[in-house]
Every structure is written in structure tokens, then in C-alpha cells.
Amino acid sequence: MSDPRTFGQVVREARRAKGMSMGQLATAVNRSTASVRRWERDEGVPAASIRGDVANALDLSPDDLELIDDEPSTEPPPSVAVTPPPSVAVTPPPPASRTGPEASLQATQAAASRVTGIAPVVDPEPTGVRGWFAVLYDPDKPWLGYLRAALTVIVLIVLAWILIWSLGGLLDTLGEFWESMWAESP
């Protein structure tokens, strides 16, 4: 006869009874904390070799863990309806003005906010580059990419020329200093 509890429930109860954190259990069985979290949420079950390590870490007999069903319950968890407080007015977002995938995403978000009463968090549009240089970042003009690349190469060449010029001056100065060190005084 199998235990009516799931593997995750048994592991969570035993871990808490022993006073261990998920991280401590993960370290004891050489797994990540995310793996232990998945096991306790019944999102997966470890391999049989790891179950023995889990049983040893939690002071359970390996037979106890073998009697538990490997498959988590297929019944969905009871859903909790979220309703907005009476003082909050839920207004649908403005209609989508775009076409394609962006429009369907906006429509989906609008439907979700009407159903749940909670408005989705939408990232703001990226602002990108500002100022006079922003005209070089127009996605409708791909030739601007070549112009940006050419400008970058020109700037790098100028910087390399300045570096070589300054290193030449430094070497000349060091040479004069070296010669002055060994010159005989009158």
C-alpha cells in the first residue's frame, strides 16, 4: 500500500521536522536549492540513487520514500479567485494601435486585466540613444549601420595615430635623457 502523501510533502515535512533549510538539504545531497524546491512542490522526483541520499539526510528509511507515488497528483490545485477591492475601478487598457504579435500581446494583456482585475506590468518602451546621434539609429535605414561602422573605424585610426605620435615623442625624450646621463661634463 502506498502512502497517500506525495514525495514532496514527505520531504518538506521531514526537512522542517529536522529544522533544515532547503539550502542545507540541497548541500547534503549535492543538488541545487532549486532542485529541492521542485521536489517539494511536486514538480519532479529525483532519481532513485538520489532518493537514498535524501532519505539519509532526513533520517528516513529508503523504503519509506520508495512507497510514495513517483508521480505527483494530476489534480490541479484549487484556484483562488482574485477580485479587486471595491474602491478600485478596473478600466480596460486602450485598444491596440499596432499590428502583428505586439497587437495580440496587448489584446491578451487587456483580456487578462479584465478577467483578474489586476493590470499586467508592461516594460516601458526602450528610449535608446538620445540627442543628435540618435538619427544614426533608425531601424528603417540599414545603411546607417555601415555609416556608424565607418565612423568608428575613422575614430580608431585617429586615436591610434595620436597614440603612436605621443609614444614617439616620449621615446625621443627618454633617449635625450639617456644620452645626457652618460655625457661628460666640461
Of residues 90 and 11, more confidence is placed in: 11
The predicted-structure confidence for 61-98, as pLDDT tens digits, reads as follows 766 666 565 544 444 445 555 555 555 555 555 554 55
Specify the pLDDT at position 165: 94
Euclidean distance between CA atoms 182 and 20, whole angstroms = 76
Three-state DSSP at 33 gives: helix
Query: Exposed/middle/buried for 16, CB within 10 Å: 0-12, 13-18, 19+?
Result: exposed
Nine-digit cell string for 19: 529544522
- How far is the CA of 50 from the CAs of 41, 47, 133, 180, in angstroms? 17, 5, 58, 77
**Residue pLDDT, tens place only, 22-40:** 899 999 999 998 989 998 8
Task: Report the pLDDT value the prediction gives residue 97, as an integer from 0 to 100.
Answer: 52
Mean pLDDT is lowest, of 11-15, 85-89, 128-132, for 85-89
| CB distance 127 to 117 below 8 Å | no
Can you give the residue ranges of every domain in the chain? 3-69, 132-182
Between 111 and 76, the more confident residue is 111
- Please tell us whether the domain made up of 3-69 is placed in CATH 3.40.50.720: no
Q: Which residue type does 53 have?
A: D
Torsion angle (degrees, nearest 10) of CA 68, 69, 71, 74: -110
> What pLDDT, on the 0 to 100 scale, is given for residue 74?
47
- Per the DSSP assignment, residues forming a β-bridge with 3 are 68
With H, G, I as helix, E, B as strand and everything else as coil, classify residue 105.
helix
